[in-house]
Chain A
Amino acid sequence: MFLALIQKQIKLLLRSPSELLILLAMPIGLILILSFALGSIMNGDLEITNVEIALVQHGNEEEEIEAFFQKANDTFPIADELRGQIAGMVPVKLLEEQIMENDELKEFVHITKVNEKDIERTRNNGEFSAIIEIPENFTYDFLTYQFLNGEKPSFSVYLNESKQINSTIVQTLINDFQHQYTLNKVLNENGLLLEGMIVPSPEITSTINTIQSKGEITSKIYYTFSMAVMFILFTAGTIASQAFLEKDSHIFDRMILARIRPITYLFSIIISTVIFAMVQMLILFTFSYFAFNITFNQLGLYLLLTFFLAIVVGGIAAVLSSLNYRNNSASASNVFSNAFVSIFALLGGSFFNISSIAPGMAKIGLLTPNGAALDGYLKLTQQASFSDLLPNLTNLSILMIILIVLAFLLFPKRGGIA
């Protein structure tokens, strides 16, 4: 009997060309269009305009270096060779070298020294991607920290949020720069620096290499998963609408008369949705496998994540069905399909990677079923392990429990027959 309910639901969906068009043909079409249309942006082929960095240095660097040498002379003798090396390690110089010695960077990253009096104007006119402000005595403190165990100095960086990509590049440069401090400090503490070892020059490419080794997320990969997790939501709306038709045409009355409990009926909606959603995802992924050569290296984890997502979609279908039965109209499923899916898709990153624009919204997006699943799929493309996937699975589990409990609480006792 339960099997008959599920078979019927699957048959009805398969015999509905308009629904199949929305659930299968549309995502395939959108994956193709978006992958090619937005491919250059996603694949990093986007032309980056010049990255202008303003450098504001307070105090006199040379005087600070001299002050350090005088202080250091009391602790250990400084040979001329080491003096030269230390003079070349001052932060501003390091930063400049970091850029100028890198052929790729020096083409589009430019540092402009700005007078400290002009700092406010520089902040306000917005022409720079970032402003690095080095405070007075920073060079002295920096060298003291490196060689004489002084206090760790700090400087300020202002990123221009309207130049998102450029700001990110500056951030990477700064991170590398800070990494360089730490390396020098460790070398010094282990006595290696004093033995005449050449201080390694910073390599910006090291970070890029690390990202690439995890697996690049191309537009084809991104939109395969982002469209799949978006269109799986339509399955919930479609099945809930079909469920309401059963009430509207009095088929549900017949089920009640055949002694089918409303709870069994609702459970059949969840199971049918899970089955159909799984099949839908498998079709979309198979398409991408053949069309784009997207590989699914950890198939077990992909299936597990898809299964969790499908159960959540089943829960949504059940809640929408309950609301439809309660309100005696298909408005709940219609509003969900026409409005909520788009909102969820936006928050969950189905249209574009929202975390690069609004990190706060991206966090909210992770609470949506599609957002949590998309994040999980993207992790999997970068060879994530089960433990990496756990936060996503946890989010989905919480959602599925809430939705299923809600659905059973909302479903009218007699199906709302009046």
Chain B
Amino acid sequence: MIEAVNLTKSFKSGVAVDHINFYIEPGEIVGMLGPNGAGKSTTIAMLSTLIPPTEGDVLLHQKSVLKDQNLLRKVLGVVPQEIALYGDLTAKENLFFFGNLYKIPKKQLNERVEIVLEQIGLENETKKLVKHYSGGMKRRLNIGVALLHEPQYLIMDEPTVGIDPQSRNHILETVKKLNEQSNTAIIYTSHYMEEVEYLCNRIYIMDQGRIIASGSKDEIKAILSSENTVVVKVNNNSNAFMNELFNQPILTNIKADEDKINFTIAKGVNFLPNLLSLCERHNVLLKSFQMEEPTLEDVFLHLTGRALRN
């Protein structure tokens, strides 16, 4: 098990990570959710021993790795958010290069390179220079490099940023398979709620350097168990209508996107008659009224007052 205990990182510009506690058990997929600047990447850098914490400790099987980082590095693979590859080398050359750095014996490395290329779906694209790959292919190879030495723990820092849906699905499936077939424990950071919801058993939500919620998906959603999310669609929306909506004391987390309005409301409260009269007064046409179970997005909005991808 990897644990972070009161992990803190301060820079001259301020505190990036503020006394966070975190753990991951073998075989788990743990999600780390948060908007840009939440402190996810700094946390990942400390967890992977790349930067020392200002305070706190990182433990592997209850043993600190701050003095002997190699303890953790041996069993850890890291997929950085950036494409950490040589563009002027082919996929195979990149894999062989990093495999050699891990001192994988030659015969074993040959096998591992073939397996990894198959895992990431690039077995037919090995002769192209990486700089000629699409964004999705580069991301897949970026993951492949981290898998060469068969790590027990894998940290993936926003591995699907900026790629097409097809490559994104491929990556998600790869992660899922990796966890199921090799029992690799994965820390998956993202600001895509649906990816975390799809992959992870447990979730940490980070904002402004702190963990503001953690637990299983259901536990997190239970934060909003006393509330329902309502999605309303209208025509002829107006400022006056929205102002009056914002002034309704029983509504929280109101978010408007053109004619689509989301808000949360306590369970059991029937707001529909009030809404109809409000629409009538402002000459707004109500097209639909839908009550939903809260999503992680709603939880995030509830906890931080901000949308995840703002």
Q: A interface vs B, CB < 8 Å? A: 1, 3-5, 7-8, 11-12, 15-16, 249-251, 253-260, 414, 417-418
Within the complex, what minimum Cβ distance (angstroms) separates B86 from chain A? 7
The 3 closest A-B pairs by CB, nearest first: A4-B100, A258-B101, A250-B84
Within the complex, what minimum Cβ distance (angstroms) separates A16 from chain B? 7
Are A4 and B101 touching (Cβ within 8 A)? Answer: yes
Minimal Cβ-Cβ distance residue in B for A4: B100
Minimal Cβ-Cβ distance residue in B for A254: B84
Minimal Cβ-Cβ distance residue in B for A5: B101
- Give the docked Cα–Cα distance between A113 and B238 (Å): 108
Is B281 engaged at the interface, CB distance under 8 Å to the other chain?
A: no
**B149 partner residues in chain A, CB cutoff 8 A:** 258
**6 A-B residue pairs with CB within 8 Å:** A251-B85, A251-B86, A253-B50, A254-B98, A259-B70, A417-B50
| Partner-binding segment picked from B75-83, B264-272, B297-305 | B75-83
Are B82 and A257 touching (Cβ within 8 A)? Answer: no
- Give the docked Cα–Cα distance between A16 and B88 (Å): 8
Contact A253:B78 (CB < 8 A) given known A11-B88, A414-B51 = yes
- B contact face: mostly helix, strand, loop, or mixed: loop
Are A251 and B84 touching (Cβ within 8 A)? Answer: yes
Are A12 and B50 touching (Cβ within 8 A)? Answer: no
- Give the docked Cα–Cα distance between A257 and B84 (Å): 12
Which of the residues B78, B82, B100 comes within 8 Å of A249, measured between beta carbons?
B82
Q: B interface vs A, CB < 8 Å? A: 11, 45, 48-52, 70, 73-74, 76, 78, 80, 82-86, 88-89, 93, 96-98, 100-103, 129, 145, 149
Within the complex, what minimum Cβ distance (angstroms) separates B134 from chain A? 18
- Give the docked Cα–Cα distance between A258 and B129 (Å): 23
Minimal Cβ-Cβ distance residue in A for B151: A257
Are B88 and A1 touching (Cβ within 8 A)? Answer: no
Within the complex, what minimum Cβ distance (angstroms) separates A42 from chain B? 40
Are B11 and A12 touching (Cβ within 8 A)? Answer: no
- A contact face: mostly helix, strand, loop, or mixed: helix
**B86 partner residues in chain A, CB cutoff 8 A:** 8, 12, 251
**B93 partner residues in chain A, CB cutoff 8 A:** 11
Are B78 and A11 touching (Cβ within 8 A)? Answer: no
**A12 partner residues in chain B, CB cutoff 8 A:** 86, 88-89
Which of the residues A11, A249, A258, A417 comes within 8 Å of B98, measured between beta carbons?
A258
Minimal Cβ-Cβ distance residue in A for B157: A250
**B85 partner residues in chain A, CB cutoff 8 A:** 249, 251
Within the complex, what minimum Cβ distance (angstroms) separates B137 from chain A? 16
Are B73 and A254 touching (Cβ within 8 A)? Answer: no
Known contacts A253-B50, A254-B84, A257-B76; 5 further A-B pairs (Cβ under 8 A): A1-B103, A8-B97, A250-B80, A258-B102, A258-B149
Minimal Cβ-Cβ distance residue in A for B155: A257
**A5 partner residues in chain B, CB cutoff 8 A:** 101
- Give the docked Cα–Cα distance between A1 and B11 (Å): 34
Contact A253:B84 (CB < 8 A) given known A1-B101, A417-B45, A417-B50 = yes
- Give the docked Cα–Cα distance between A256 and B101 (Å): 10
**B89 partner residues in chain A, CB cutoff 8 A:** 8, 11-12, 15
Minimal Cβ-Cβ distance residue in B for A11: B89
Are B70 and A418 touching (Cβ within 8 A)? Answer: no
- Give the docked Cα–Cα distance between A249 and B51 (Å): 16
Within the complex, what minimum Cβ distance (angstroms) separates B72 from chain A? 9
Are B51 and A250 touching (Cβ within 8 A)? Answer: no
Are A1 and B51 touching (Cβ within 8 A)? Answer: no
- Give the docked Cα–Cα distance between A171 and B89 (Å): 61
Within the complex, what minimum Cβ distance (angstroms) separates B142 from chain A? 10
- Give the docked Cα–Cα distance between A12 and B78 (Å): 24
- Give the docked Cα–Cα distance between A5 and B145 (Å): 16
Within the complex, what minimum Cβ distance (angstroms) separates A5 from chain B? 8
- Give the docked Cα–Cα distance between A16 and B86 (Å): 12
Within the complex, what minimum Cβ distance (angstroms) separates B101 from chain A? 4
